[in-house]
Amino acid sequence: MLGKKAIVVVDAKLFSYDEFWWVREPRRHYRYRKRTEDDGSCFSGRCCWISERGGNEDGEQINNGDANHKQIDIVDGEGGWWSGSRIMIRLFKVKEKQKEEAGNAHGKGPLKKQSAGELRLHKDVSELNLPKSCTISFPNGKDDLMTFEVSIKPDEGYYMGGKFLFTFNVSAIYPHEAPKVKCKTKVYHPNIDLEGNVCLNILREDWKPVLNINTIVYGLYHLLTEPNHEDPLNQEAADVLRDNPKAFRSNVKTAMSGGRVGDTYYARCI
Gap between the Cα atoms of 198 and 269, Å rounded: 18
- DSSP conformation class of 113: P
**Is residue 42 among the annotated active site residues?**
no
Burial (CB < 10 A; 0-12, 13-18, 19+), residue 252, is buried
Q: Catalytic residue among 48, 134, 183, 199, which?
A: 199
118: Cβ–Cβ under 8 A, 6 or more apart, which residues? 145, 146, 172
Q: Which helix (H) or strand (E) holds 217?
A: helix 213-225
Contact 151, 96 (CB under 8 A): no
Residue 83's SS3 state is coil
Report the distance separating Cα 30 and Cα 46, nearest Å: 14
Which active-site residues does the annotation give? Answer: 199
